[in-house]
């Protein structure tokens, strides 16, 4: 069984109880990639036991919600996901220790950058406005992708952790849209591979990039 562990948002429900939430699109996406997706609760204990007993192909830090305050370039007054932050920090450490691929999507990418000492900013002053839901171009060397946009925060190039290497960028606005690690098996993508793309080719190239990363074939 080739498991992919997926993290979840932390919210407070109508009864005041802390609750895990994750979009079903993540489950469908990684199932299509021929993995068995397994959602990890923010409130489970002994997560390290799963790494000892299971064939884990990758861990995915998913999107949705804000980061720890110290991961931002300033305090924006965001709501904290305390239990999620603790769980994702634990999962990062376990991935690094066990040499397991770690994929960060949107908020997950930002969390990894913060973990390694980088900073995240509100993208309120971009040179070229990027409306939510409207695809935009990202570039890596001679390659371009037209990717979706469902985030209000991001990583300016000067705020990328020195432990990470920028890959795809929005060169007009100076933001990092994807990164890798020269030391660990880490890939971050700011866009959402599991959501709608206006360009089928870009969707398929993203799928290939993620599949190759998990399988250890990303160049």
Residues near 163 by beta carbon (within 8 Å), at least 6 away in sequence? 116, 117, 181, 183
Position 146 in a domain: yes
CB 148 within 8 A of CB 192: yes
Query: Is residue 158's pLDDT more than 70?
Result: yes
Position 136 in a domain: yes
Domain with 103, as residue range(s), is 3-214
Number of domains present in the structure of the chain: 1
Query: Is residue 55's pLDDT more than 90?
Result: no
Q: What is the pLDDT of residues 110-147, one digit of tens each?
A: 999 999 999 999 998 888 888 788 999 999 999 999 99
Position 219 in a domain: no
Annotated active-site residue in 10, 169, 177, 194: 194
Annotated active-site residue in 106, 136, 169, 177: 106
Q: Is 158 left (phi over 0), alpha (psi -120 to 50) or beta?
A: alpha
Position 187 in a domain: yes
- Higher local confidence (pLDDT), 81 or 131: 81
Query: Is residue 49's pLDDT more than 80?
Result: no
Position 173 in a domain: yes
Position 50 in a domain: yes
Check if 163 is active-site. Answer: no
- What is the rounded average pLDDT for all residues in the chain? 94
Give the pLDDT confidence score for residue 127 in this predicted structure: 81
Position 22 in a domain: yes
Check if 192 is active-site. Answer: yes
Between CA 219 and CA 213 the distance in angstroms is 8
Annotated active-site residue in 88, 169, 177, 192: 192
Query: Is residue 217's pLDDT more than 80?
Result: no
Between CA 1 and CA 52 the distance in angstroms is 14
CB 41 within 8 A of CB 96: no
Give the pLDDT confidence score for residue 218 in this predicted structure: 65
Give the pLDDT confidence score for residue 94 in this predicted structure: 94
Position 210 in a domain: yes
Give the pLDDT confidence score for residue 53 in this predicted structure: 63
Give the pLDDT confidence score for residue 199 in this predicted structure: 95
The mean pLDDT value for 192-214 works out to 97
Q: What is the pLDDT of residues 91-104, one digit of tens each?
A: 999 999 999 999 99
Burial of residue 200 (CB within 10 Å: 0-12, 13-18, 19+) is exposed
The β-bridge relationship of strands 165-166 and 178-180 is antiparallel
Instruction: Look up the CATH number of the domain holding residue 142.
Output: 3.40.50.880
Give the pLDDT confidence score for residue 58 in this predicted structure: 96
Can you read off the two tokens belonging to residue 94? 């376990």
Check if 194 is active-site. Answer: yes
CB 105 within 8 A of CB 192: yes
């Amino acid at each position: 069984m080739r498991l992919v562990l997926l993290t979840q948002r932390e919210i407070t429900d109508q009864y005041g109880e802390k609750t895990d939430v994750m979009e079903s699109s993540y489950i469908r996406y990684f199932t299509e990639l021929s993995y068995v997706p397994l959602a990890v609760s923010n409130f489970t204990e002994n997560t390290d036991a799963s790494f000892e007993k299971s064939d884990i192909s990758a861990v995915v830090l998913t999107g949705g919600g804000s980061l720890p305050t110290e991961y931002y370039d300033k305090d924006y007054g965001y709501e904290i996901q305390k239990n999620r932050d603790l769980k994702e920090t634990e999962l990062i450490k376990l991935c690094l220790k066990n040499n397991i691929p770690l994929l960060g999507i949107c908020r997950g990418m930002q969390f990894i950058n913060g973990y390694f000492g980088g900073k995240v900013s509100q993208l309120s002053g971009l040179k070229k406005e990027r409306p939510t839901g409207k695809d935009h171009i990202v570039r890596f060397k001679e390659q371009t992708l037209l990717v979706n946009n469902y985030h209000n925060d991001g990583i300016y190039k000067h705020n990328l952790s020195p432990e990470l290497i920028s890959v795809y960028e929005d060169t007009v606005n100076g933001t990092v849209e994807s990164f890798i690690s020269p030391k660990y098996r880490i890939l971050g993508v700011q866009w959402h591979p599991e959501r709608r793309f206006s360009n089928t080719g870009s969707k398929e190239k993203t799928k290939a990039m993620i599949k190759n990363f998990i399988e250890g074939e990303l160049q």
